[in-house]
Chains A and B, each alone.
Chain A
Amino acid sequence: MSATLLLEQLINGLQLGTMLFLMASGLTLVFGVMGLINLAHGAFYMVGAYLTAAVTAASGSFLLGLAAGLSGAAAVGAVVELVVIRRLYHRPHLDQVLATFALILIFSEGTRWLFGSSPLWLNTPEWLAGHVPLPGGARYPLYRLVIIGVGIAVAVGLWWLITRTRLGMRVRAGESDREMIGALGIDISRLYTAVFALGAGLAGLAGALVGALQSVQVGMGEPVLILAFVVIVIGGIGSIKGALLGAVLVGVVDTLGRVFLPLAFRAVLPPAEATDVGAALASMLIYILMAVILAFKPRGLFAAHD
């Protein structure tokens, strides 16, 4: 069983990792370019999932739902940036934390008001519901592989956008010197809105994709948000490369830990206790990983600046 199980769990970990990357890349871009810490990023994940579920239910097309989730989250992100976020760029981090915490409350309760407390259901579309055979005889759900594919496509797309396009050039310039690119005649506020909307759209995409695996409910973005924080702290805040590496690391370590730690403890403890101790320890594993990495590299693996 071991090799197949390991392969299956590795792919599971990779899938969690790509999801985290979709969240973390937006967070880290917004911090890198605007210097803003955004707790409300999980709200866009939730908005994406709700819009996708609602539009899919109304139209019957998952692709249409996905498009609505992605573009809707980006649009909500742009509005939030225009109304609230742009007042926060020059504020201390404490103010940013509080204002975006307030946004979480507003979004969570607002969604509960609109959609009610019971979760929405979003099914995997039929044409993605099949399984793919793995070497060793096991079968793996196609949909999860598609998520990994989307994640890779986004990573490549972001790399192209940042290193090969004019917008990307401005983003990189903004990361190294905010005032200078303003002085060079580039409309910073439009750039900021665009970057923020891009991050929100990616979070919305993540929420939409995961919505078909889990239930769509209020507060669904928060556990993912905190994992995304761990990812960007490990990777180095502001670095997309760090976000990618951190996301895969966290995804794989978390998934493998949950499966194999209880098994490992069975060698030394009675089965019931081994499961308890293993599960408790597995839930702490990525935080321990973070602490160890920070002990050696206080600014993460790929610190972007200062």
Chain B
Amino acid sequence: MTDPTPALSARRPSRRLGRQGLVQLLLLALLLALPVAADLTGHPYYVTLASRLTLIAMAAVGLNLALGYGGMISFGHAAYFGLGGYVAGIGAFHAFDMTPFLGGIPGSDNLLVLWPIAMLACGLLALAIGAVSLRTSGVYFIMITLAFAQMVYYFANSWPTYGGQDGLPIYLRNQLPGLDTQEPLTFFLICFVGLVLAMALTSRLMGSRFGAALTMARLNDTRLATAGISPTPIRLVAFVISAMITGLAGALYADLNGFVSPSMLSWHLSGELMVIVILGGVGRLYGPLVGAALFIGMETLLGGLTEYWQLFLGLTLLGVVLFARQGVMGWLAGREPHA
């Protein structure tokens, strides 16, 4: 067995666990072990906190596909997060009220029904928004995705059937056959599986022909077009999948909180998701998880000390953007092996 040339080894991920693989394994193990330990020692608050972290990370995994891998700077991913949440909330609302939705469709509190609907709804919304927004690029794209998300936000605000500004409570967490979703640890494990699946999907996608095309669309779309692949459909598909992942996270998030309101659609949330992706490291599989952990950690620790913790979040973010462009994942795990 001869050593492969450096060029080849850079292309093929080696079977050995590198520094990055080690860090990644450790992160997942920590995320799984801490809530289990908290549950065993009787601290359900920390289990719920971990569920929140997991879902925020999952939403950011969705955004990372568009922003990090696809180079599409979407400033409107809260629209999908919130829409997913509203699907969970509206389903529960009609199931609880025994009233039909839009004239004929019965409500449901079965997650196996609600999740696909949430993803489908987000996919369709992203298809419409993406089709218009991807006609443009650069600053226009940033502002247009932001504006469309605001449109959804104002719509939810002024539509009184589902609570308008006050939001919509979910009195009983939606059900999954055979599991007790009210149990904090069970619900955390559902979220954890969701996050792992989202990351596995991202990894598979980016390892495929489609992923190569998406990367090329980000780096040099003229070259991609020369190779006979039109960049816009590739981008649009990535944008839609990205929105679907974020939407599923939103549906779970609404169930976690037992509440959905327009604040899940607000542009602050879009900004925070971007911040999480950047803090963790753009276009890195585990970046969103690290970013979410950092964000939730700061919120919990600093938020306990001062009411004005977002001031320090702002200063940290400014520091990271101006001086540390690799993100925390770059600092923990070094450069991406095939950057």
Contact = CB atoms under 8 A, between A and B. Distances in A.
Contacts of B159: 276, 280
- Give chain A's interface secondary structure class: helix
A96 to B, nearest CB: 9
Interface stretch (A55-63, A207-215, A289-297): A289-297
Contact of B144 (A95, A101, A108, A290): A290
Interface in B275-315: 275, 278, 282, 308, 310-311, 313-315
Contacts, number: 119
Give the interface SS of chain B, mostly helix, strand, loop or mixed: helix
B278 A105 contact: no
A298 B140 contact: yes
Contact of B314 (A37, A102, A279): A102
Interface in B195-227: none
Interface string B153-170: 011011111000000000
B136 A284 contact: no
Nearest to A91: B321
Contacts of B271: 101, 104
A94 B321 CA distance: 9
B149 to A, nearest CB: 9
B311 A93 contact: no
Contact of A229 (B132, B143, B282): B143
Interface of B: 67, 73, 75, 132, 135-136, 138-140, 142-144, 146-148, 150-151, 154-155, 157-161, 267, 271, 274-275, 278, 282, 308, 310-311, 313-315, 317-318, 321-322, 325
Given A109-B308, A283-B155, A294-B136, 18 more contacts: A93-B73, A94-B73, A97-B73, A97-B142, A97-B274, A101-B271, A101-B274, A103-B318, A105-B310, A106-B314, A108-B310, A112-B308, A222-B267, A229-B146, A232-B143, A233-B140, A282-B158, A298-B136
Interface of A: 31, 37, 84, 87, 93-95, 97-99, 101-106, 108-110, 112-113, 222, 226, 229-230, 232-233, 237, 276, 279-280, 282-284, 287-288, 290-291, 294-295, 298-300
